[in-house]
A and B are shown apart, each in its own frame.
Chain A
Amino acid sequence: MDILPILSTLRRHKLTSWLLVLEIALTCAIVCNAVFLIGQRLQRMDMPSGVAEHELLQIQVADVTTPSNPYARLAEDVAVLRHVPGVLSVASSNQVPFGNSSSNGNIRLDPAQPERTLNATTYFGENLVPTLGTRLVSGRDLQSDDFVDVETAMKGLGNGDSKSLPHVTLITRTLAERLWPGQNPLGRIIYLTPVVGLRVVGVVDSLVRPNAYDTAKAQYTMIVPLRMGASKDQSYLIRTRPEDRASVLAAALAALKKADPQRVVTTQRSFDEVRRRFFQDDRAMAGMLVGVIAALLIVTALGIVGLASFWVAQRRRTIGVRRALGATRGNILHYFQTENFVLATFGIALGMVLAYGINLFLMSHYELPRLPGAYFPVGAVLLWLIGQVAVLGPALRAAAVPPVVATRSV
């Protein structure tokens, strides 16, 4: 098909053609970026936690009056939970993966260092490694004689008495690799404050922080042997078989209530819910982006249908003349299809530039990475397809114009 007559026709409808090109370009640019944003969100929602999510339950209970010995209270609760049928393992923790609320520390490798090396999250609690199901890749797990009561530690911190402070820690593989690339982390010291130096005794495969907002820093995690007392901020973590979760949760709550009917259950959920809640905004955003893409493509497609219908109606006589001079239906059909393809190509080319510009703007305002080149052909193919589908109806109508139209005046 010869493209020159098409171009000369379009030149006669310059303004309308340019508007269509502009519409396709804007749609292409927005769609490219929106698809990219969806990809980012989906990738984020897939962030690994490093724990056996389908086997874990979280419970938080709060006492109406502070117990006289919170440590004994916590130990009793853990013992009660261990005896619930179906419970495989129980831990207590000050925070949970993807739980939002977190305790964090500024790490220094030398206590005299002026700026922190990085900020890592600190899990405090006993029996965390086996209960969470994270794998120990080297060294040893924390032992009960590593643990220090948190109030003792706080007092020690206040008066600089290092004997009443914890001395060891577990860290994730990512954190070890970040602090000492390519070296053995075991035996190295991490300083949380000038007097709190923690020796790395073990490395776990993976454990995500509760406040995993930045994917790059999501695995900067330490487990510190601080023994926490029972309080409303403390979580009981229960490991069980996936199919037993509902019944074990109910039985565990009943057992805790039986131990003390006066207390209030503030949290009771499976880890699937923890994850769902943590990423709920990402899911909502991805859903909205899908909606915007669909709406954009529909509006653009309808716009193409509308304009093509006009052109076909306007050129009925010309089409009739061409048919009378020997053009086949196929020729006419291809003419309109090619015309749309040419317009779409211009639009896509302009759209790519725009997409790149929008991405640059987003990068500077929303800490987004650069749009990978792979998204450009996706946008192009999508718009070519939409254009061809939209123009098919009007083009077929054009092809159906009989040659006899040429002989009619007006």
Chain B
Amino acid sequence: MRDLLSGTPTVVAAGVDVFSDALRAQGADVHDVDWRPPGLGDPADLAALALDRRRAAANRTAVERVMAAGSRLVDVRPARDVLGLTDRTLLHAGPPIGWDDASGPLRGALVGACLFEGWASTVEEAERLLASGGVALDPCHHRSCVGPMAGVTSPSMWTWCLEDPVTGGQAYCNLNEGLGKVLRMGAYADEVLTRLRWMRDVLGPVLQAAVRSMADPLDVKAVLAQMLQMGDEGHNRNRAGSLMTLRELSPAVVEVDAPSSDVAAVLRFIGGNEHFFLNLGMPTAKLALDAARDVPGSTMVTVMSRNGTEFGIRTAGTGDRWFTGPANTPVGLFLGDYGPEDANPDIGDSAIMETYGVGGFTMAAAPAIVRFVGGTVPDALATTERMYQLTLAENPAMQVPILGFRGSPTGIDVLAVARTGWLPQINTGMAGRVAGTGQVGAGLVQPPRECFEQALAALTAEARAAA
């Protein structure tokens, strides 16, 4: 505090210009912020939250836990075993939802999973089964799990098992199928099911044997950190990460006791899938954010996730409550002759990457991505710059080279979202609106304001109760 009087102060000003102008006229060093009225939330709520005495320390605790968490690939196991998925239970992306409200791609993926599991032999039979409530649906996030796009995870699917060496926490994600006509995009044609069966019968067992044979478990967080230095942002662009994963796994895969044709098929599959790493990156982010669950007083977002109908968020200060709003439809580029009218609203748990501070938040590391919406390299830089104003910290492990190796903007602060009116930037794939279609494009999207309005109100109620 003595600092204040130790010399002519530099001034940072928020508000009317006349005060700053008068200071400049005296030769003062004045920095004006471009203040605007809050973008959302009741002013009294914002004030109460700003004054919550727990907030600063709680947010520091939460974001430090996120940044401290590690991620080791320790096993590959069937979802049935690790997720406690009994028969007739399917996991899905996003906040809770039932069949009646499910969008096309989620329905398509659920149908495909029923066919894959042999719970139904035709699409119609699967639809009847699902519509009658014959299959229990549960969000991945309720089981330490994340799933890209529809996120549908069935008992016979193999999952990556990741462990945080700091907390001992576990997180899971199924194996990435590739692009195009794939279950997670809502496709369920024969080729989709054939691929899933091969993944069940060949890919999963080979990867399990390989991963279990590795003396040093793969440090997935380290791969993610390196990707950002190689033109990936870890959500919509995973090229370098997938190749590094192939490099790390290959020796162990080759040594697996399996027919050489299977080994070759596995390596070819991994090498041919630019998004193979995504399903490792997501549980890495999930581990870190789970480490920050249940920090009373923290306004940090721990989950952003979509089920194709609704977008949902959770915060560190509000336990397991979901705050939801209608999912937006991404804006971007389309495969083939698909167009905007073919795109389903936002879907997938993959926004966990942005929640962790990469993906859209490190757009500056992957300028190619911004061209999905006709943007330029300066737009990519500006997007990341904007996200710094929404977040609590810079993660020194996740560096953005073009910004002078500045750490990624990490830990979305609900209060900062409300005050700036800026919404988190998410990079995402786009699934076809009609069940069975598959991927139609990729682009950029933001959460609906409603999620943050509800979270703000709930956090404020917590703050008032604690005061």
Is B one of A's binding partners? no
